[in-house]
Structure 1
């Protein structure tokens, strides 16, 4: 074994053994040193994404140890860390799976060039998407800007079957030093909310595979009909696992495709949601400023409120807008680190339309609170709802929280799960909000229900007036 060459498998957001092209390449090369680097991009993550990342590292480290390997942790600039590990182990190659946000692309491009310049083999692979962004083109050789044509272009495209997990990961002749994950204190920014959120998360590749299997067996048939019901456990719950690569989109696609061929009614819609995520990443690749600037440049002239100290923004963050569905959703977010997708659209619409607050402020709050934070999906979702993004609808979309409640939570089960009731008290989950929020908010389960910040009719009228004024410019 000592005669085999050694390589580094550089882990970023691909915490899995199965269907992992970079790991497969490293195993073919010889002995493997799995490395995760805590660099500036990790430092830039929000509080909840850092907590979820810590859980992914813990789970994957245990998975590697079960195969006789281990996860090496280093902190610092990625290039410096990889150079050091290569020097300590004699590694002659570094393999990784590609990322597509502009910051990662810039880092990875520089790392690859530097390593190759020093005589170290450096190769990257596809693993986070179904299709590379530069391979899906319109007839005019450009990127798709609307989802439906994008879906039609890729829905029959062949997606390879996922590869199996290796039976072992050949260790190097000598292990380099590793830092202690606890010393990184990735969950520290969550403070007292960390234990609350952690209790709602199932981390790791094996948990993700089990969730996918259960969803395909028990829920996918009704997915199209039930996925928007706020009180229904009808979705796959795989968003955080996908964001960290504990499961691959290829695995999800093939599982959904198999159920569609078997006649499961909701399977095609599940595939459409996988492609919606894909579309977001293709947009970010082609329009890398989508998370900082209006995707439609003409929206730069829209009159947003951009003050993050505005009392209406704080009330929205705290789930105290006086609109029960909005408040329940914002508390679900703070308690679990997730929010039902229908609720995401409603809360985003309320912030940007009824309250007139810039989508960037809401996007950044989600970025700090979501354990399934995904930069492309988060940015595209917020811009789609705000009106400045890739929405083909020929009208200004304004969601009404009350009618949405009547349609998707008619018995009030979602509301009672996340909000205390003045007459009947609070559920266990509703009480958790008060154990998780900062003490400086001075909130108590006995507080009276807040009064609405603005009437729904008045908020809608104001939003439409602002839109008409904007269009008239």
Structure 2
């Protein structure tokens, strides 16, 4: 067997446990050179996702150092970097974990084909999803376009147990040079908001594992109800960690099943949410247009506004629509990099229906602000809300953000947490929003809270009129 090194290319799998590519490399008996590339895909990331990715890379580097290994950092086009390192180290193989969004797939397919032409053993491994998208089929052999049948299909599937963390990562005789992570300035796009956002991150493999354990021990039993209450700490929060692969979906899946078998029936709702995540990758694999274009092509004729310069769009982004649920959720995202799931549905419905703005405007803003941003889940969520996607909420279902707040935040605890202007003695976290936003927005916690930019009833009527008069 060749003793040439294996380059282990980390991407959205920034952990050591349950890592098939790492396990295979370590089991080969060959030296392993862990690698992260700030490549052409990373270059497209928005401010908050790139900042959060940099934190995760730093945490992985520390974990590898604790194992007597190193994380080599390089910046450039992925294939060029890989070829340069192969020349420098004599590596005979490159291993990585598969991804499913169109940009990553295109990069990986090109790299695999070119490396194989070079005589390099290029291998991709599972690890970012529970079920490879091409292995889940309808009874007629096609892919799933509706979630519930897919859930029923995979619910009883045998998912292999999570792999243990390798005890030893064989090191090469000599290490190639590495970039300095600080030189990449991955938080530059955050401007003055990085320090505040950092305090809201739950970072790294160890913290992700603790987060999963705490959720299963203390909160999963009330998950079905509490996950809809934005003022309650009722969700797992694991989307942040799953995004960067700091925890594997298999670990979450088996933990959920153990809770379910222990009598915590709400754990099944959590398992469904994991499969909803799978549904996004399933669709992106089979219909990659979902991340950039209307999944239902006849929606191309719908008269959405596409001008981001509109005052209404600016007010939506800044959390100054005059609708408390919308504004609270938008500010939560800006400060923490996450947003409660109920809030995501409300702000998406409001933008695409009350304001008649294209879902791409919201998708792109989320892609800049979310630390749990994922290209597949983000696109599917926005198209679901807008009505243009698979298994979507009907366009005529227009969430009323006022009655939704009455239903899910009756005492206004969530609104008071995130909004300073309408309430006396504003919370510190509500005020922190004004310490993060660009100064040119000219906002202050002492401002008068704005009147609604669009009355709820007026916005609903406008949306329904547009739907009824559509040309498709």
Question: TM-score, normalized by length of structure 2?
Answer: 0.98
Quote the residue 2:247 is aligned against.
247
Quote the residue 1:371 is aligned against.
371
Quote the residue 2:151 is aligned against.
151
Contact 2:387 2:393 in 1 (8 A): no
Measured in 2, the distance between the counterparts of 1:27 and 1:449 equals: 58
Q: What is the 5 A alignment of 1:75-94?
A: 75-94=75-94
Quote the residue 2:20 is aligned against.
21
**Structure 2 residue matching 1:192: 3-state secondary structure:** helix
Measured in 2, the distance between the counterparts of 1:83 and 1:445 equals: 53
What is the deviation of 1:421?
A: 4.4
Quote the residue 1:57 is aligned against.
57
Quote the residue 2:426 is aligned against.
426
Which moved further from structure 2: 22-31 or 68-77?
Answer: 22-31
Measured in 1, the distance between the counterparts of 2:132 and 2:205 equals: 23
Offset from partner CA, 1:404-451 (integer Å, 9 cap, x none):
111111111101110014452311110110000001101111111011
Measured in 1, the distance between the counterparts of 2:97 and 2:268 equals: 28
The RMSD of aligned alpha carbons is 1.3
Measured in 1, the distance between the counterparts of 2:306 and 2:86 equals: 46
What is the deviation of 1:85?
A: 1.5
Measured in 2, the distance between the counterparts of 1:428 and 1:392 equals: 37
Quote the residue 1:72 is aligned against.
72
Measured in 2, the distance between the counterparts of 1:394 and 1:362 equals: 18
Measured in 2, the distance between the counterparts of 1:327 and 1:394 equals: 24
Measured in 2, the distance between the counterparts of 1:469 and 1:172 equals: 66
Contact 1:331 1:433 in 2 (8 A): yes
**Structure 2 unpaired stretches of 5+:** none
Measured in 1, the distance between the counterparts of 2:460 and 2:220 equals: 35
**Structure 1 residue matching 2:152: 3-state secondary structure:** helix
Quote the residue 2:305 is aligned against.
305
What is the deviation of 1:5?
A: 3.3
Measured in 2, the distance between the counterparts of 1:117 and 1:158 equals: 36
Pair 1:352 & 2:352 matched: yes
**Structure 2 residue matching 1:289: 3-state secondary structure:** helix
Offset from partner CA, 1:181-217 (integer Å, 9 cap, x none):
0110010000001111111001100010000000011
What is the deviation of 1:228?
A: 0.6
Quote the residue 1:388 is aligned against.
388
**Structure 2 residue matching 1:115: 3-state secondary structure:** helix
Contact 1:93 1:122 in 2 (8 A): yes
Measured in 2, the distance between the counterparts of 1:372 and 1:151 equals: 23
Quote the residue 1:11 is aligned against.
10
Measured in 2, the distance between the counterparts of 1:43 and 1:466 equals: 38
What is the deviation of 1:392?
A: 5.6
Offset from partner CA, 1:349-375 (integer Å, 9 cap, x none):
000100101100000000000000011
Write out the 4+ residue segments of structure 1 that deviate beyond 3 Å after TM superposition: 392-395
Pair 1:279 & 2:291 matched: no
Pair 1:468 & 2:456 matched: no
Contact 1:208 1:246 in 2 (8 A): yes
**Structure 2 residue matching 1:35: 3-state secondary structure:** strand
Measured in 2, the distance between the counterparts of 1:375 and 1:425 equals: 38
Pair 1:291 & 2:299 matched: no
Measured in 2, the distance between the counterparts of 1:393 and 1:38 equals: 37
Question: TM-score, normalized by length of structure 1?
Answer: 0.98
Shift in alpha-carbon separation, 1:394–1:311, aligned structure 2, 3 A: closer
Measured in 2, the distance between the counterparts of 1:115 and 1:67 equals: 29
**Structure 2 residue matching 1:169: 3-state secondary structure:** coil
Quote the residue 1:218 is aligned against.
218
Shift in alpha-carbon separation, 1:393–1:349, aligned structure 2, 3 A: closer
**Structure 2 residue matching 1:99: 3-state secondary structure:** coil
Measured in 1, the distance between the counterparts of 2:171 and 2:184 equals: 25
What is the deviation of 1:113?
A: 1.2
What is the deviation of 1:117?
A: 1.3
Measured in 2, the distance between the counterparts of 1:144 and 1:245 equals: 25
What is the deviation of 1:132?
A: 0.7
Measured in 2, the distance between the counterparts of 1:292 and 1:94 equals: 30
Measured in 2, the distance between the counterparts of 1:423 and 1:454 equals: 22
Contact 1:222 1:265 in 2 (8 A): no
Measured in 1, the distance between the counterparts of 2:421 and 2:101 equals: 42
Measured in 1, the distance between the counterparts of 2:191 and 2:469 equals: 44
**Structure 1 unpaired stretches of 5+:** none
Shift in alpha-carbon separation, 1:159–1:89, aligned structure 2, 3 A: same
What is the deviation of 1:75?
A: 0.6
Measured in 1, the distance between the counterparts of 2:422 and 2:122 equals: 61
Quote the residue 1:122 is aligned against.
122
Contact 1:385 1:397 in 2 (8 A): no
What is the deviation of 1:333?
A: 0.5
Measured in 2, the distance between the counterparts of 1:43 and 1:426 equals: 38
Pair 1:137 & 2:145 matched: no
Pair 1:204 & 2:210 matched: no
Quote the residue 1:322 is aligned against.
322
Measured in 1, the distance between the counterparts of 2:250 and 2:321 equals: 40
Contact 2:421 2:447 in 1 (8 A): no
Measured in 2, the distance between the counterparts of 1:311 and 1:382 equals: 21
